[in-house]
Structure 1
Amino acid sequence: MDSMMMDAMSAEMKMPGMEMMDMAVMQACIDACAACEQACVVCSTQMMDCAPACMNCADMCGTMMRSMLRLQGMTPAVMMSMLDACIAMCQMCMDECMKHAEHSDVSRMCAQACKACMDACTAMRESMMKMAS
């Protein structure tokens, strides 16, 4: 998403207690969720052993991304719970894909995308925690 859209989102944020959200951290998390979703979809079509984990992770990342783009009505507690769920789903998918990473570039790419998404969601969560204190 371009900076104009992020500026508009920042100006229009209606999430109670989230007025000072670090939009760069949010954008990085949105981007990582989108990349992870795409990697998991590709992996699920090529690696049947880890397909269920990848499909579930893709769904979670897509939901997390859309939730961050639709902030109205989202409370900080709900956002934190969703971030925790996304982190857990990415960890599970990464662990499953790593079992095949030595023999599959697709699985290795998916595991790397899951790790990047976990890191971005963790940074988003930490940013929210700082705002709350």
Structure 2
Amino acid sequence: MDSMMMGAMSQKMMSMPDMAKMDMSVMQACMDACSACEQACTVCSTQMMDCSPACMNCADMCHTMMRSMMRMEGMTPAVMMAMLDACIAMCQMCMDECMQHADHSDVCRMCAQACKDCMDACMAMKDMMMAAA
């Protein structure tokens, strides 16, 4: 995602009181790390073949989450919570898979950390929404 798009997203998030604390760059970093890990795992070995689709799915979920957050006008809190739950679950699954290879793959280790950071951001967003309700 280019810097102009990230800037527009940040500005839109700041105009919505409930969204002010969601750091979209964390989600972007997770998408980038998952994409890099997916490519590395595909090239590396057949031992990491479960890692590649996990990374692709996680990157897709984060991308969908970011796009949905930009269109908040059509979102209800229940739908937003369900999407945050799905993003958290996908990041958890990807992180767990990458952690199996983290000792011998720097890319998997970095991807696992990016997934953890994204999960934490989504959980914080859910907490903020529940506190505001």
TM-score over 0.5 for the alignment?
yes
Q: CA deviation at 1:54?
A: 0.2
- In the TM superposition, what whole-angstrom CA distance separates every residue of 1:101-128 from its partner, at most 9, and x where no partner exists? 0000100000000000000000000000
For the pair 1:47 / 2:45, whether they are aligned, the reply is no
Q: Which residue of 1 aligns with 2:29?
A: 35
Structure 1 unpaired stretches of 5+:
14-19
For residue 18 of structure 2, the aligned residue among 8, 18, 21 is 21
Aligned CA distance change for structure 1 residues 101 and 9 (closer, same or farther; 3 Å): closer
Distance 2:76 2:117 in 1: 25
One-letter code of the match for 2:18?
A: M
Match runs of 1:1-133 below 5 Å: 1-2=6-7, 6-7=10-11, 9-11=13-15, 20-23=17-20, 25-26=21-22, 28=23, 30-48=24-42, 49=48, 50-132=51-133
Q: CA deviation at 1:21?
A: 1.1
Q: CA deviation at 1:68?
A: 1.0
Distance 2:111 2:38 in 1: 9
Aligned CA distance change for structure 1 residues 8 and 60 (closer, same or farther; 3 Å): closer
Q: CA deviation at 1:31?
A: 1.6
Distance 2:124 2:58 in 1: 19
Q: How many residues are aligned here?
A: 121
User: Conserved in 1, the CA contact under 8 Å of 2:9 and 2:70?
Assistant: no
Distance 1:93 1:5 in 2: 25
Instruction: Give the TM-score, by structure 1 length.
Output: 0.84
Give the percent of matched residue pairs that are identical in Structure 1 and Structure 2: 64
- In the TM superposition, what whole-angstrom CA distance separates every residue of 1:42-75 from its partner, at most 9, and x where no partner exists? 0000113210100000000111111111211111
Structure 2 unpaired stretches of 5+:
1-5, 43-47
**Which structure ranks higher in relative contact order (CA pairs < 8 Å, sequence separation ≥ 6)?**
1
User: Conserved in 1, the CA contact under 8 Å of 2:27 and 2:62?
Assistant: yes
